Structure 1
Amino acid sequence: MAKRYIVHIDLDSFFVSVERKFNPALIGKPVLIGGSADRGVVSSCSYETRKFGVHSAMPMKQALKLCPDAIVVRGTHGRYGEASREVTEIIHDSVPLYQKTSVDEFYIDLTGMDRFYDCYQMATNLRQRIIKETGLPISFGMASTKTVAKMATNQAKPNGQLYIPHGKEMAFMAPLPVRKIPMLGEKTCEKLYTYGIEKIGDLQHVDLRFLQTLFGSAGQYIWEKARGIDSSEIIPHSERKSISTEHTFDADTADERTLQTILVSMTEELAYKLRKENKIAGCMAVKIRYSNFETHTIQEKIPLNAAEHILIPGIKNLLQKTWNRNRKVRLIGVRLSQLARGNYQINLFDDNEEQLKLYQAMDTINFKYGDKTVCRAAGMEVGTRNFNPFHG
């Protein structure tokens, strides 16, 4: 079997780095990107703040207590999406197989290329090209598996690179804390700590049956990860580029309140689905079909997000722009497009801690008990209607 060469690429402090491109005065300074100092949440933070214990999703007030000299930047949504697209295009033009897992993270498979090239040099050249053409700091790790490559990247940060040769995976991992294993939760780590298992090297010497007794079926996963065993492939898949829903009225209507209520409910439904799939949208559209089947669609580019409190005002505005109030509506629809991988953290520039907690609470309940268990009051009266979702 051919040796695998997997590269994990991560843009360092992505939002901060992009802002520093536009404002070099921020370079070397402690920077927090997020909402207001009183009630906002940290979306991203520079390495200068992390040494004080600051991390993303932390309340801004707490972050400023830990690092009082930090500069708070509200953030510029469009810049991050554009920077991510620039990096993606460079990678797309440079390698045969890659997977984009978020706006600032990629996996690349160079397996087989070693017959013709030095894979580590290829990755080095790619990193230098990205830095040169985008001005963004970037780190990468290369190893035989996705897990070890990601861990190598984390060790190479900030703005570095690290290659773990084949056969050296366990030796590389051994001195690292168990919490460095990707996807290993805090509760799992705490349970390991109670048995004196603090380093990955300690975990490598634990019998598989012991881990299975402690963690059930997850024991096998933990045992394999500690040894760098990971057979997961990098398979680029064609993700849908839009998500939509429509509603056809039983009787044509020109009642503005009815139209807005339907739009609010549909937008909320789509935003929830995006968050459930860990996606964000960069464009929204409203579709109107009149009684004579004449159809009009209007769309607008938006900052990448999946939050209905941001989307709903925009959707209502599109309705006002496209709807002829002298005509009755037969069908109305909402489409969110230009989808990208990413989570709700990208929207925290305009949000406060209460809003974040509200979304987390609503999504937790809806994930557990089903869609529309919890929704906004404006959408409740149509929450039980049957929509006809279709995907582009």
Structure 2
Amino acid sequence: MLSETPDMQDKQIIHIDQDAFFVSVELLKNSKLVGKPVIIGGTSDRGVVSSCSYEARKYGVHSAMSSRMAKQLCPHAVFIRGSMEEYSRYSQEVTEVLQQRVPLLEKASIDEHYIDMTGMDRFYGCMKYARELKELVRKETGLPISFGLSVNKTVSKMATNECKPNGELFVAQPEVTGFLNPLSIKKIPGLGQSTFIKLSEMGVKKISTLVQVPRQQLFKVLGNNGLSLWQKANGIDYSPVVPYREQKSIGKQHTFQRDSIDFAEIKQLITSMVVELAYELRKQQKLSACITVTIRYSNFETVSQQEKIPYTALDDYLIDKAKTLFDRTYNRRMLIRLVGVKLSSLVNGFEQINLYNASEERYSLYQAMDRIRDRFGEQAISLASTLELKL
């Protein structure tokens, strides 16, 4: 086992998770749903489950499952289409409550946050303060949360997962090994199904077994991911809490060889840029909550329009927004020299956000296209509407 550094021992990291977030928002709006199996997502047979209540999970329902299968497993469930606009708004409210009251906050996803309280335990009891934050979020937003407190991000997240829903768990440094060892390797953050199968075939199903596997063997089977998993299994994680900033963004822009006013081709170009940006978001497992379109006219005047949007990484939605913003931005009846698209307010995202507003067929198409790009490159597959670009 790797030796523990003083930095590891001194860390005080809180992980906060909004319990069954989409469902919690719906329960807030309609108290009659409390205690019932609730499923958020596509309501037609071609739809996909985006999220579900703990009552529905008892019947085997989970995200990414087809709505058809969910209905078969839990025919008495309440299906709700939901509203990503509302979920995004509640997510921002929780972030604002926390941001005003902690020294260092990372928004890890739409419903998860990390807080670094290191050093603050001299002035506040970290567990006591975490409980106060939990109650404050409930009071300010009405939403329940669970939290874990431990020596790093990995252990605190695993602690949260073990105490949900509406729970709390403190794992001190001397207790880390005893807490982790009995758990299934499935509990390790970032361990996917294919990795679980490979480790299971090696006879590794518990964390207590994984820590005994030589690191060289894990590297041989899983590459660098094997070394990362070994560290996590030993309760080691050096990753810092990254300060939350709305300014994080990705973008693309194109300067025309000749100033243009061919709107059809310009919108094809915008579509192509958005497709590339959305793929990059999904590859990084991120979501965007703001889109900006920029135009530079032939006289070098530059204008932009931006719009806050529900968290998403889906091509169709972003393409429509980008085209609408272009129409709102272009108002000079002048040739265009440059056009650009930027996606900002980025956070890490779970798959169920991408499932939202996607049919089962559409979701499968996104997955298939991304696999082709991952294997053969970003240009290996494109939308038909972007294939004849000559700009």
Normalized against structure 1, the TM-score is what?
0.88
* 2:141 alignment counterpart: 134
Question: 1:390 matched to which residue of 2?
Answer: none
Q: 1:99 touches 1:236 (CA, 8 Å); kept in 2?
A: yes
Question: 2:306 maps to which residue?
Answer: 299
Match of 1:362 in 2: 369
Look up the match of 1:120. 127
Q: Following TM superposition, by how much is the alpha carbon of 1:196 offset from its aligned partner in structure 2, in angstroms?
A: 4.3
Secondary structure at 1:94's aligned position in 2? coil
1:334 CA drift (Å): 2.4
* Residue 134 of structure 1: how far off its partner (Å): 1.1
Quote the residue 2:348 is aligned against.
Answer: 341
Conserved? CA contact 2:250–2:342, under 8 Å: yes
Q: Distance in 2 between matches of 1:268 and 1:217?
A: 30
Partner of 1:388: none
| SS at structure 2 position matched to 1:252 | strand
Counterpart selection for 1:10 from 12, 17, 20: 17
Deviation track 1:247-280 (CA, whole Å, cap 9, x = no partner) reads 2333333333222222222222222222223222
* Contact 2:107–2:347, Cα closer than 8 Å, also in 1: no
CA distance 1:346–1:162, shift in 2 (3 Å): same
Residue type at the aligned position of 2:185: V
Residue pair 1:140, 1:161 contacting (<8 A) in 2 also: yes
Q: Describe the shift of the 1:115–1:375 C-alpha distance in structure 2 as closer, same or farther (beyond 3 A).
A: same
When the two chains are superposed, the root-mean-square deviation of aligned CA atoms in Å is 2.6
Amino acid at match of 2:382: C
Q: Once the two structures are superposed, what CA deviation does each residue of 1:150-195 show, in whole Å capped at 9, x if it has no partner? A: 1111110011001112211121223222221222233333344345
Helix, strand or coil at the partner of 2:160: helix
Output one character per residue of 1:65-112: Cα deviation in whole Å (capped at 9) or x when no partner. 111111111121111221111111222222212322111111222222
Distance 1:215 1:332 in 2: 43
Unaligned runs of 5+ in 2: 1-5
**Per-residue deviation, 1:138:** 0.5
| 1:51 partnered with 2:58 | yes
Q: Please give the alpha-carbon distance, in whole angstroms, between the structure 2 residues aligned to 1:321 and 1:229.
A: 50
Aligned amino acid, residue 349 of structure 1 = Y
| 1:327 Cα offset (Å) | 3.9
Contact 1:36 1:352 in 2 (8 A): no
Mapped partners of 1:287, 1:206: distance in 2:
53
For residues 140-179 of structure 1, the aligned pairs below 5 Å read 140-179=147-186
Separation of aligned partners in 2, 1:332 and 1:195: 53
Whether the aligned pair in 1 keeps the contact of 2:246 and 2:345 (CA below 8 Å) is no
Does 2:321 match 1:314? yes
**CA shift for structure 1 position 343:** 4.6
1:35 aligned residue (28, 34, 42): 42
| Maintained 8 Å contact 2:22/2:87 | yes
The answer to whether the 8 Å contact 1:42/1:348 transfers is yes
1:119 counterpart letter in structure 2: C
Determine what percentage of the aligned residue pairs are the same residue: 49
Q: 1:307 deviation in Å?
A: 1.6
Deviations along 1:124-146, one digit per CA (max 9) or x if unpaired, are 11111111111111001112222
Pick the aligned partner of 1:21 from 28, 42, 64: 28
**Native 8 Å contact 2:12 2:126 kept in 1:** yes
Range with bigger deviation, 349-358 or 311-320:
311-320
Residue in 1 that maps onto 2:3 = none
Alpha-carbon distance between aligned partners in 1 of 2:128 and 2:60, rounded to the nearest angstrom: 35
Q: Is the 8 A contact 1:41 1:353 kept in 2?
A: yes
Alpha-carbon separation, structure 1, partners of 2:258 and 2:218: 62
- Residue segments in structure 1 that go unaligned for 5+ positions in a row: 386-392
